[in-house]
Amino acid sequence: MANRLACHVAGLPLPNPVMPASGTFDYHPDVRTPVDVARLGALIPKSITLHPQPGNPPSRLAETPAGLINSIGIPSPGLAAFQDKFRSVYGGVPCPLVISVAGYSPDEYAQLTQACSRWPEVVAIELNLSCPNLKTHLMPAQDPILLRDAVQAARAATVKPLWAKLSPNVTTIAPMAAIAHDAGADAVVAINTIRAMAINIERQKAILGHFTGGLSGPAILPIGLSMVWDIAQHTSVPVIGCGGIRTVDDALMYLMAGASAVQVGTATFAHPAAMMDIINGLDRYLADQGIAQIADIIGIAKPA
């Protein structure tokens, strides 16, 4: 891919700004997929927890007219099991590797961050502070003190870049981004899914086994876009845009709103090659517009 797609997230160089959202795409060296992993800006596997956990009870998915509600709940083998298989699975990943970790206390975030930072293949740690369908009702990304404490603990445990994944389920997101940045996050990811619910009217029951989950997909794109813009306008923290991205146009909107990079999630379930299409489309757009570097379009959106 042409060098014009090369970008930086808080000083971390990436070959391009397109990567999967954690939990929506993984790497299996012996499995062929429509995605050429070597062309991704980065790879982010599903969040790892300190201890094994099964995730939420079924049903875990509910389709909506413009998106998907998931209540997966971060099923995880735990850190020890993940460490055992790390070399065989991720040792040869042909793109930058970012590990997502999810803790239930600042100490757990610190332990996970420290352990995952030992691998030279890992270029950054993403702190999942905002999953809306876990057993706890209050997420660190919803409370300023919990957010600060979790990020500070992780920051003290590593010298590698830290990305804090924020929640849209707050009154205003820019102050939370500023808190994460001040606590030591090098960048923030915005947004995670929006708390949502679906009901089967014939059975008169909630469709999801956990009752509520997180809405993703096209319905949340305008919300994610506005929150990225808010963060870019009111803070100095670099932001990675996420939420509802399906096409190159969607990715371009996030970049023009101020995102340094983007994450693609639900779109890959319906169209596995979505990230490849977006990478190719970004390159074509820059070439057609005569733009030398992807950095030249970041934050250029203006009022109508």
Distance separating alpha carbons of residues 272 and 261, to the nearest angstrom: 19
266 annotated ligand binder = yes
CA–CA gap between residue 240 and residue 202 (Å, rounded): 41
Q: Which amino acid is at 123?
A: V
pLDDT number for residue 2 = 52
CA distance 250 to 255: 9
pLDDT band at 33 (very low <50, low <70, confident <90, very high): confident
47 has binding-site annotation: yes
pLDDT score recorded for residue 131: 78
Q: CA 115 from chain center: how many Å?
A: 20
Nearest to 27 by CA among 84, 90, 83, 76: 90
Given 7, 95, 116, 131, the catalytic residue: 131
Which pLDDT band holds residue 184 (cuts at 50, 70, 90)? very high
For 82-93, what is the mean pLDDT?
91
Strand 261-264 to strand 239-242: parallel, antiparallel, or no bridges (unpaired)? parallel
CA dihedral 262, 268, 269, 270 (to 10 degrees): 120
Average per-residue pLDDT for the chain = 95
- The answer on pLDDT for 185 being more than 70 is yes
- Any binding-site annotation on 244? yes
pLDDT value for 162: 98
* 299 belongs to an annotated ligand binding site: no
Task: Report the pLDDT value the prediction gives residue 1, as an integer from 0 to 100.
Answer: 44
Place 30 in a pLDDT band, splitting at 50, 70 and 90: confident
Q: Determine whether the annotation assigns residue 290 to a binding site.
A: no
Q: Is 74 annotated as a binding residue?
A: yes
* Mean pLDDT computed over 49-63: 95
**Residue 216 is labelled as binding a ligand:** no
Residue 135 pLDDT:
54
- pTM, two decimals, is 0.96
To the query of whether residue 131 is one of the catalytic residues in this protein, the response is yes
CA distance 202 to 229: 41
CATH superfamily of 3-56+73-200+218-297: Aldolase class I (3.20.20.70)
